[in-house]
Amino acid sequence: MLLVLVVLAIALLGCSSEGVLLIGLDEVSPRNVAVGDRLRITGTGFPQDHPAIVRLEGTGHRAGEAAVRGLTVETEGRLVAPDTLEVRVTPELVRALTGDADARRTTFRGELEVAFRSPKRSGAAVVGRRSGVVLDVTPEEVTSATVQLLRREARRFAAFIGAEMVRDEGGVRLDRVEAGSRAARAGLRDGDRVLELEGLVVADIEDFVPPPNARRSLIVVQRGSEAMPARVDSAGFRFTSPKALEPAAALVGVAL
């Protein structure tokens, strides 16, 4: 009787509501993806003759938008080696992560699940999960108007906190931080390289726009070999969305 209970307990620990946790997931790469890329998932315990479903569940971070929580996307994967699963990055997958209207680069942070469905209806799925997955997803197209307006808002936000930014081969750097400014009070310094703003990986100037009505914005910078978080007072900054600015941009274009 005791042996039966022990076996039952082990079985319950290895099960989820959707399948049996028997797969080990080691690595998800590359981190930067766009349409046409291949996302590769390596691990152990992959069944060699079952179809695979890959599920992403987490939060999407985009410039100038509130974090998109509960973001869930499912797609198919195929085995290309006994320990490697490949996912084709399709336009549909990218749109699901970056948004259909007014798409912009998105940093996804969350969990990845791989489920191999049994060919038999009664068979349980074999599942593996990996948390802490980060993907930087580039949409198929971002309108030039959106990019220009986001860059303007990014420079306006930098000025609001008392900093100037420059773009170089390594990304975005704080060229100057005013003494006594919001940025300085948060501990930011001249020469700090901006890595993240409120969960969004900052790859270019247009990424440096906080979510609407943020009272404090988390900025992660690289100083030397260290990544340093800083909470910057951003209360009072009013972000003007690209949609609101489009009519004005159109008028400027006509005038030119």
What is the CATH classification number for the domain harbouring 119? 2.60.40.10
Q: Are strands 226-233 and 216-223 parallel, antiparallel or unpaired?
A: antiparallel
Residues of the chain with pLDDT under 70: 1-19, 119-123, 241-256
Q: Verify that 105 and 188 share a domain, yes or no.
A: no
Cis amide prior to 30 (ω within 30 degrees): yes
- Could you give the number of structural domains in the chain? 2
CB 77 within 8 A of CB 116: no
- Which residues lie below 8 Å from residue 168, measured CB to CB, with a gap of 6+? none
Q: What is the pTM of this model?
A: 0.85
For residue 53, the surrounding DSSP H or E stretch is: strand 52-62
How many residues are listed for the chain in this entry? 256
3-state SS class at 194:
strand
Say whether both 116 and 58 belong to one domain.
yes
Q: Are residues 238 and 166 in the same domain?
A: yes
Which pLDDT value is given to residue 8? Answer: 33
Looking at residue 30, its pLDDT comes to 98
Please indicate, yes or no, whether residues 150 and 250 belong to a single structural domain of this protein.
yes
pLDDT of 120: 64
Let me know whether 251 and 168 are in one domain: yes
CA atoms of 178 and 164, how far apart (whole Å): 9
The reported pLDDT for the residue numbered 49 is 80
Per residue in 192-235, pLDDT (tens digit) is: 999 999 999 999 999 999 999 899 999 999 999 999 999 999 99
- Among the candidates 85, 113, 137, a domain finishes at 137
Q: Which of 26, 76, 71, 32 is nearest to 50 (CA)?
A: 76
Domain boundary, last residue among 137, 164, 197: 137
- Same domain, yes or no: 25 and 131: yes
pLDDT at site 89: 98
Give me the CATH number covering residue 215.
2.30.42.10
The domain boundary, picked from 137, 157, 178, lies at 137
Same structural domain for residues 247 and 176? Answer: yes
**pLDDT at residue 242 in the model:** 52
Assigned domain for 93 exists: yes
In a domain, 3, yes or no: no
Q: The domain containing residue 44 runs over which residues?
A: 21-137
Q: Is residue 224 part of a domain?
A: yes
